[in-house]
Structure 1
Amino acid sequence: MAINKQACLILITDQEHNPQHLNSLFYFTWDTKKSDTAELVAFLPNLEPLEAAFQKELLTSYSKEHIGAFLAAFTQFYHVPTPEYVIADLSYLATLTATHLNNQVRITLKKPALLTNGTELAKGPHQLSGTDLVELFRYNHQLADYDCCQRQQALIFTLAKDVIKKAGILGLPKLMTATKSEIITSTSIKTGISLAKSYLLKQIKQTKTKVFPKKADYQLIDHGPTVRLTLVKKTDNL
């Protein structure tokens, strides 16, 4: 299935308990004329419990607020104590041309790239497993310090520069067009990152009364000049 709409790919892994493949992969697309809704195009297996939980609500159509709720519900369902959300723009590297085929993702690389195990992928189309896709993104976006063996994580990659502007998921198109050096050196980009984190945290907070304990108090752990945050209970000794 060819995808030409604005898109957001959400990968959720559990390397500790499920090291061979992803727990789930979600691929949302936005109609550019209806930017307040997103369609859940496809997902990989291992979602039966979550699917059952959502079947009475929104399985095929999500507003941008629902995506935050979806992630929060997933992390709560699997008892993830410190859900982390990593957002990165990799449109310079690749485009996703099909959601999945035999539990693999069809991706087109705009230039050669490396996996973390040293495997080199040539420019052009590839079919990758979910795990290889995560490794490709982690390595090429310098997320090697992101310890995927310690806890379940949600890795959120936007694969189109305009997804933020069109879908309003963060509302900061400049953030996704910035290079790493610009992210580090530009005051305006730093401000944009701060706003982006605040926006994402706000989306999560708006849903926590439903999916988190009502009296739980959370704080934001800032991981520096990248759009990465950890939501933890203030009582946690971190």
Structure 2
Amino acid sequence: MSQANLYSFPAVDALAPALRAYVIQAQNAGIARHGVFKVAVSGGSLPKTLAQALLPAPSSDADTVHWDKWEIFFADERAVPLDHADSNYGLLKTELLDKLPPSTTQPTVHPIDTNLLDDTQELADQYEQVLVHSFAGRDSVRLPIFDLLLLGCGPDGHTCSLFPGHELLRETDAWVAPIEDSPKPPPRRVTLTLPVVTHAVKVAFVATGAGKKEVMKEIFEGGNGLPCALVNEGAGDRASWFVDDPAVEGVTYVRRPFNL
């Protein structure tokens, strides 16, 4: 069975250009496939790393980020207003979107409907309808297939808002599910479900810092049903990890040299 790719770099400064090359390759493949690049992003430290990777000016035509072709969704979102400190949309806007050059044609971004914050089931259902509208009707596709998912990894091995041991990990029907009892605040959220995550064309995790090394050991050497490990199992070599050396210190899983 194919296995996830683990790419390790001395520091984030070395990781960012490789992540850029990987994202641009996924972008170009998506545009070639259907004229747009459908990507879902998570929160945490990811938007900051993405900005470091994607904001520098292109070095060549092949190195260009075609923002006008991007369609950005959220792999998970908190049930808070878009300008709230906990909003993944707000984080991406502040760290990345607001820093795009003024001449840039902005990407299409799909935030949650904040009129539905009081009912997370409604919020999830509405966001699923956004996906249905973008990816074709549910009657014609069993699952939406993103060109790329850009995810983080929590110290407990969670990704999106899929937490270890949570019943949501067994959800197989919904594309987007509500969660009222997130062990990490805020408790009320919506998230892509595991089958949607593992069906993406590519899944990229970004995990940095020595604080991650214990959980990385568990994900790559044990698994133990941790959500990140379940994504690795489901996606195989369509999953790639971009990490710095401190995050995988002591992890015996084979690192691959990064080349596209």
Q: Which has the higher contact order (CA 8 A, sep 6+)?
A: 2
Which has a greater percent of helix? 2
Q: How high is the TM-score relative to the length of structure 2? A: 0.27
Which has a greater percent of strand? 1
Q: How high is the TM-score relative to the length of structure 1? A: 0.28
